[in-house]
Amino acid sequence: MNGKTVIVTGASDGIGKAIATQMKEKGYQVVIIGRSPKKTMAVGKELNVPYYVTDFTKLDEVRKLGQALKEKYPKIHILFNNAGGIYGKRVVTVDGFEKTFQINYLAHFLLTQILFDNLVAGHATVINTSSVGNSVLSKLDINDLNMEKKYSNTSAYGNAKLEGILFAKEFTKRYGNSGVSMVAFHPGNVLSNFASEAEGFIHGMYSFALRSKFAQRIFSMIPPDQGADTGVWLATTQPVKDWQPGQYYYKRKIAKPHKLANDSEVARSLWDQSEKMAGVVYPK
Ligand SMILES: NC(=O)c1ccc[n+]([C@@H]2O[C@H](COP(=O)([O-])OP(=O)(O)OC[C@H]3O[C@@H](n4cnc5c(N)ncnc54)[C@H](OP(=O)(O)O)[C@@H]3O)[C@@H](O)[C@H]2O)c1
């Protein structure tokens, strides 16, 4: 064990489980978070690591998780903000926010704020799992984060993945000197359950690919252990020296995100609205 603590959300399956497995193999003290109690316990036991069950559609559960991690792990060295997926018809959570936005982005914005001091203590790297969907699917209206005016499940997913990149940009602007580095990455088209609760084209594409080797070739699908590669590389190399905080990576290289990712007004507005929605204020 190298004594470094790694927290992975969405680690009960797919890319998060692969990241947790690879980080454990490299000697890190891994802590996993999942939604399904059964799946999360099974992965916790398989990897012999501590596990926490939290449903990100309930921000109160995220607050409890954050407090528990804050007390248990005074120094956090790596945080993977990875939980997420694409869903179906527009659903509003108990907190009043569009579900895709809340699970993929807002819950992680909240969790990162609660853990801020622990991340500073660990000179941490925070890695947001984004997606190529940030550029090809998003139709972000910064004045309608809950997509009340216009909703589709694909644009909700693209927006949430763009928000993960905007989070990394704005975090870097505000806390670049804090010792904490935040970055985003696309894992590739990974054979996983991430579209199992969706509908439409993306759901069809992933269901087909899970059954058909032919479809896997057409859509350049890769297994979760390969999808974990860029995330694990970011976690185990040096910010600034090996990669740039605030950027978006694919295959270990800087990739081009949606043009709004470079709009500093949009990033600031997203940050301000997120603080209000999550009911937190990051350190000034
Ligand atoms: N697969 C791809 O091609 C692809 C491409 C680009 C980006 N991504 C992103 O990669 C990340 C991981 O996805 P994956 O492909 O590994 O999918 P996956 O196998 O379905 O894993 C998703 C993980 O997120 C957790 N999760 C889902 N809803 C949650 C909720 N309400 N509260 C807490 N946790 C929740 C799941 O928990 P349970 O299993 O316990 O329910 C699971 O651990 C996601 O952010 C996804 O958007 C995936």
Query: In ligand 1, which atom is closest to the CA atom of 83?
Result: 24
Please say if the pLDDT value at position 195 is more than 90: no
**How far is C-alpha 145 from the geometric centre of its chain's CA atoms?**
17
158 lines ligand 1 (CB under 6 A): no
56 lines ligand 1 (CB under 6 A): yes
Q: Across residues 253-260, what is the average pLDDT?
A: 98
Q: Across residues 48-52, what is the average pLDDT?
A: 98
Strands 253-254 vs 181-186: parallel, antiparallel or unpaired: unpaired
Q: Across residues 148-169, what is the average pLDDT?
A: 97
Please say if the pLDDT value at position 132 is more than 90: yes
Q: Considering only CA atoms, which of 47, 54, 140, 57 is closest in space to residue 94?
A: 57
Which 3 state secondary structure label does DSSP give 134? helix
Please say if the pLDDT value at position 210 is more than 90: no
Residue with CA at minimum distance from ligand 1 atom 23: 10
d(CA 270, CA 264): 10
Please say if the pLDDT value at position 83 is more than 90: yes
Pocket test for ligand 1, best of 35, 55, 162, 248 (most atoms within 8 A of CB): 35
State residue 134's pLDDT score.
Answer: 98
Residue with CA at minimum distance from ligand 1 atom 42: 10
Q: Across residues 243-254, what is the average pLDDT?
A: 98
